[in-house]
Amino acid sequence: MKSMIIHLSDIHIMNDYNPIFESKDKLISAVRSELIEVNGIIFVVSGDIAYSGSNSEYEKAIEFFDYLKTNIDKDLAIEAKWIFVPGNHDCYHDDKKKKIRDIIVEEILNKMEIDESYIEKCCEVQQHYFNFEDLFVGEGVIFSNRLLKIIEYKIGDFEVMFNCFNSSWLSQKHEEASKLFYPLDLYSSELNKYKSDITISVMHHPFYWQTQNNIKDMFMKLEDISDVIITGHEHIPTHKSIDDHKGNYKDYVEGGVLQDHDGRSISGFNVILVDFTNKLKRVKTYMWSHDIYKVTSDSDWYSMKRSHNLEKDTIVIDDNFKKFLVDPGAPFSHPCKPNLELHDFFIYPDLKKIRDISPENTSERIIRNEIISLEEVSTLNKEKNYYVIMGDEKSGKTSICKMLYLKYFIEEYIPLYIEGHIIKSPKIDDFISVIEKCFLYQYANLPIEKFRQLEKNKIVIIIDDFDEINLNPKYIRVLVENINKLYSNVIIIGSDMIQVEELIGERDNSKVNFEEYEQFLIREFGHLLRNMLVEKWNTIGKESTITECDLIHNNEQALNVINTIIGKNYVPSYPLFLLTILQTLETGKQIDFKESSYGYYYQYLITQALSKINIKNDEIDAYNNFIVELANHFFIEGKYEISSEEFIAFHRWFCTDAYEVSTTFKSFINFEELINDFIRVGILEESSFGYRFKYKYIYYYSIGKYISDNITDAGIQSRLKEMCMMLYNQEYANIIMFLIHHSKNPIILQEITANARTLFADNKPIKFEEDISIINKLLDQIPTYVLDGKKSVSVARREHLKEKDKRELENEEFNDNYKRKRKADGIEEMAIATDVTDYDYEEISQSEEISIISNLNSAFKTMEILGQILKNHWGSLRGNYRNEIGQEIYDLGLRSLDVFFKSLEQSLVPISEIFKSIIEDCGENFEKEEIEKITRSMLFKICSDVSYTFIKKVASVVGYEKLSETFKNVLNNNNTVAVNMIDIAIKLDYFRNFPYDDIKRLKRELPGNKLPYILLQRMVINHLYMFETSYKNRQRICELLEIPIAAQLAIDYTSTIKKNI
């Protein structure tokens, strides 16, 4: 069953000369071949039938359309049907009545308020049009007034619905864009009332002719109710088919001009073919060429996909519940879109499958982290799909519920969202009652009887905050068993207390029956997901305009800030925290922070949390001070949590002895109320042994502030000196890092820089000149590094980020197993520690001689801290002091690298013998000379990798465009190859312009100096993979450094040996 819609627009029929009359038979001839297989034909005329709206022009229009009707009816043997909407030219402006109408129009546009009398008065100019329309349109009208007609035509067993909007009811003689208004709210119920096999909305003016306040509403409403939107007015025929990948499909068809004002210089029309049986559509555009209409655009047949809410007899999500589903759950805003919706920035998180692979002996149990994306997990591809997903308080659990709901709805399931707290009983009948109430609230247009008759595999139960169900473990077990009997798709989401409650239930044989459920933990966003979130944020409102180069640059800037703030798990890397940082970056609020740009974000997060307590502005200082003093108490006592008794004593000391808090400040001096408030807003949390800080950044930020506020105290200075000498201790390094967010006090800076100078003081900064001659002799010839010319930047960056995530996951597994073994051995850990190094170095610090490894760790921490000082205070530190700090960072990094080279040179012979032994044992029959050559290559490779790591480390801690003068001064004072390498590394990674001239100049200084030349090649290849570069520039750069461009990377000649090692 097929239908043809002939779309005519902007005919401008005049009283005198109308060239279109001479070619009307050509119009019919153009479509005659299409009429053979068509079962119905509909003319859609999208306005401007007449030129000035006069009665005489419509008399000529009647003649024109009668001709078309008669000849089409004759050819098709089926009566053609008609759809008209008026355009601005269909208004007959009588100068005598114009003044009154203009006043009313102005009143409407100013107040956006109308009544029926206003509509009647404004539409008087269209009376000739209405008389004309009545001659052609009669049957099929199911709603009609001056501003809207809803018409339904049947083509066989199929229904075609037209929403005909009078967009020109406020048109004036000299029309301006953004000066029209359409009162959609008046007709909302009518527009939502009817369903058909295809719904087409027709109006003369495209959206942007509406007032700014009305554009968005008009656009969203018409998209919501239409399969096809037909407009005219612009005189340019276009067709766009849109799929937003969220289950919404739309066609926009704009009409060309059938008869232009000056005659037949341009003439065209559209044809829309609909194949209802095969669910296909096709759109053609015809334009006048010489003496016939020719097809100038043809979409060919394509799938007639429909938005889910337009389908007949389907379930539609209730409007109010839909608002809940798209609500991001926090007041996020974006400069390009003030009212964000959840899907604007949602990224599916990764999940960790809860599974142990090990012997039964707990002390030997090894943890393997199986990581899988929620998007993959949520695929309902089994007979029973039962999932438990657990996460921290701020991990975005409710957002996950919402997006899964929308995903399943698009996939034509019937998802139901149930909040845990509304489940009061484990009984089947009671749970069914809850389900049906949720269905009636969440869906419209479908009786409960039809829902009851749905197959159970079409229903998806999503229970949010499962841990808030007020039932004991025994009855939770009964509830889950009953849910499993009723439904085959169940997703339970809650906090990790689900695990605790399951263990409690295990003790009294009431363990919750989760055996059939796959169980997952929501992971914090790793590097790849952070990048995806930032990229999504940076493209909001700029999808079609932002260049790839600008997007990468913007992403890098935002990620540098985010990664610095997150640090070593200071702030949880969940979307809520990441979006808060992104929003403050966009709004530029950091200019209000007096101490440092990064410190602002931590203070902002704390202030945001405190704002959820019902306190006055003048009380916030007291809460902040309490947190700071509490952090200092933890530090002095060497504890990460305190008992309830100790906390009560501290509270009493604070309110009575130390600060004499007024008894009128009741919410503060009441211990229970104060602590409950802190727990509720996420400052503190309860633990098995008492209370502790919920997030590390709160503790570190607060202890840093305490030291900063009391820096003139001799005891504090002594504490500072001790911590600066022991930066290999992770906790001390974290505290100093947060301290510099608060202050650039000379006492602090002098202590850090003085300690930096003591590290490897007996070594000189490596130059990469004569001092590496022994290393250069290891290699006979420089290996060829090949650039994969087919690998896109997006693929390369994704691979790079995935590799970083993989390394961090491996480190996490190692730490988890290390801690698990120590716990099994009866060794208690400090929870404030973040990795294995915290525990090792506590013992190392007590030894007589601190090892090279711990000093290297201190060197890296010191460089990070000094780099942060430069970045935080670049605008307030004097140039000479910036240069001094910058110089010390370079020197410390290069002194540390010199330590490695000196150690290697001293051990070159024994290390070589070990490598030779490994090569001999690998099973290959190498000659002695070949073994010697491979050994030297391997040693050189180690030196190259370590050097690359050190150079990139120094570049990363100081990399910031606003410090360019500091880099320049350091280079001028120390023009060594090594310093040049760092300078180029900074410019490659943190500056927008490629440093071609710097690289060319340095290359001239490197003949025979193999190590820095290879490092330079590696840095440039990495840059070309990670940043967009034009083909011409890439060729030029690779030619300079003799880097071949190939389809695939060359295989490293030492790969066989490395695998065996």
Helix, strand, or coil (residue 988): helix
- The number of C-alpha atoms within 13 Å of 271 and in the hemisphere containing its C-beta is 26
Nearest to 205 by CA among 243, 234, 179, 240: 234
CB 969 within 8 A of CB 881: no
Say how far apart CA 327 and CA 399 lie, in whole Å: 9
Distance, C-alpha 346 to centroid of its chain? 6
Q: Which of 554-563, 626-635, 1006-1015 has the lowest mean pLDDT?
A: 554-563
Residues 6+ apart with CB under 8 A from 684: 675, 678, 691, 692, 693, 694
The pLDDT assigned to 76 comes to: 65
Q: Which two tokens stand for residue 40?
A: 């119905």
Amino acid, res. 77: A
pLDDT tens, residue by residue, 569-621: 788 899 998 998 888 877 654 434 333 456 778 888 888 889 889 888 888 99
pLDDT tens, residue by residue, 428-439: 999 999 999 999
DSSP readout, 743-761? ---HHHHHHHHHHHHHTTT
The DSSP H or E segment spanning 596 is none
Residue 29 has pLDDT above 70, yes or no: yes
Letter string b/e over residues 951-984, b meaning 16 or more CB atoms within 10 A of that residue's CB: bbbbbbbbbbeebeebbebbbeebebbbbbbbbb
The pLDDT assigned to 587 comes to: 64
Say how far apart CA 275 and CA 281 lie, in whole Å: 6
CB 741 within 8 A of CB 602: yes
Work out whether the CA dihedral 449, 450, 456, 458 comes out positive or negative: negative
Other C-beta atoms within 10 Å of 343: how many?
15
Say how far apart CA 428 and CA 481 lie, in whole Å: 10
The pLDDT assigned to 925 comes to: 78
- Tokens 């530090």 label which residue? 635
CB 977 within 8 A of CB 943: no
Compare 170 and 689 and report the one with higher pLDDT: 170
pLDDT tens, residue by residue, 111-135: 877 888 889 999 999 999 999 999 9
User: Which residues lie across from 461 on neighbouring strands?
Assistant: 416, 490
Helix, strand, or coil (residue 282): strand
Helix, strand, or coil (residue 57): helix
Q: Which two tokens stand for residue 665?
A: 């400040």
Residue 1057 has pLDDT above 90, yes or no: no
The DSSP H or E segment spanning 414 is strand 414-419
Residues 6+ apart with CB under 8 A from 1059: none
Compare 100 and 43 and report the one with higher pLDDT: 43
Other C-beta atoms within 10 Å of 1055: how many?
8
The pLDDT assigned to 676 comes to: 93
Residue 972 has pLDDT above 60, yes or no: yes
- The angle that helices 397-410 and 319-326 make with each other, rounded to 10 degrees, is 130
pLDDT tens, residue by residue, 690-720: 899 999 999 999 999 999 999 999 999 999 9
Q: What is the mean pLDDT of the chain?
A: 86
The pLDDT assigned to 153 comes to: 94
Q: How confident is the model at residue 1058 (pLDDT cuts 50, 70, 90)?
A: very low
Residue 475 has pLDDT above 60, yes or no: yes
Residue 754 has pLDDT above 80, yes or no: yes
CB 163 within 8 A of CB 226: yes
> How large is the C-alpha radius of gyration of the chain?
37
Q: Which two tokens stand for residue 59?
A: 């008399």
- The number of C-alpha atoms within 13 Å of 641 and in the hemisphere containing its C-beta is 17
**What is the rounded average pLDDT of the residues 359-370?**
49
Q: Tell me whether residue 109 is exposed, middle or buried, using C-beta atoms within 10 angstroms of its C-beta: 0 to 12, 13 to 18, 19 or more.
A: middle
Residue 165: φ, ψ to 5°: -100, 130
Nearest to 266 by CA among 443, 464, 11, 439: 11
The pLDDT assigned to 567 comes to: 81
Residue 7: φ, ψ to 5°: -100, 110
The pLDDT assigned to 503 comes to: 42
Percentage of the chain surpassing pLDDT 90? 52
Distance, C-alpha 218 to centroid of its chain? 27
Nearest to 767 by CA among 978, 1052, 999: 978
pLDDT tens, residue by residue, 440-466: 999 987 778 888 888 889 999 999 999
The pLDDT assigned to 368 comes to: 54
Residues 6+ apart with CB under 8 A from 471: 423, 425, 426, 479
Other C-beta atoms within 10 Å of 439: how many?
18
Residue 232 has pLDDT above 60, yes or no: yes
CB 996 within 8 A of CB 971: no
Does domain 346-523 fall under CATH 3.30.70.380? My reply is no
The pLDDT assigned to 267 comes to: 93
**What is the rounded average pLDDT of the residues 747-756?**
92
The pLDDT assigned to 843 comes to: 40
The DSSP H or E segment spanning 114 is none
The pLDDT assigned to 833 comes to: 37
Domain ranges of the chain: 2-310, 346-523, 532-744, 770-844+852-1060
Helix, strand, or coil (residue 982): helix
Q: How confident is the model at residue 1061 (pLDDT cuts 50, 70, 90)?
A: very low
Say how far apart CA 646 and CA 338 lie, in whole Å: 47
Say how far apart CA 476 and CA 687 lie, in whole Å: 24
pLDDT tens, residue by residue, 908-938: 888 888 888 888 887 677 888 888 898 999 9
Nearest to 239 by CA among 312, 302, 333: 302
pLDDT tens, residue by residue, 774-788: 999 998 888 888 888
Nearest to 227 by CA among 299, 161, 139, 326: 161
For domain 2-310, give the fold.
Answer: Purple Acid Phosphatase; chain A, domain 2 (3.60.21)
Residue 60 has pLDDT above 90, yes or no: yes
The DSSP H or E segment spanning 507 is helix 497-507
Residue 826 has pLDDT above 70, yes or no: no
**What is the rounded average pLDDT of the residues 795-816?**
86
Q: Tell me whether residue 9 is exposed, middle or buried, using C-beta atoms within 10 angstroms of its C-beta: 0 to 12, 13 to 18, 19 or more.
A: buried
Residue 1046 has pLDDT above 80, yes or no: no
The pLDDT assigned to 498 comes to: 64
Residues 6+ apart with CB under 8 A from 287: 237, 256, 266, 267, 268, 293, 294, 296
Compare 359 and 344 and report the one with higher pLDDT: 344
pLDDT tens, residue by residue, 530-578: 999 999 999 998 887 888 888 998 999 899 888 888 887 788 899 998 9
Q: Which two tokens stand for residue 427?
A: 């009984």
Helix, strand, or coil (residue 663): coil
Compare 590 and 289 and report the one with higher pLDDT: 289
The DSSP H or E segment spanning 5 is strand 2-8
Other C-beta atoms within 10 Å of 333: how many?
13
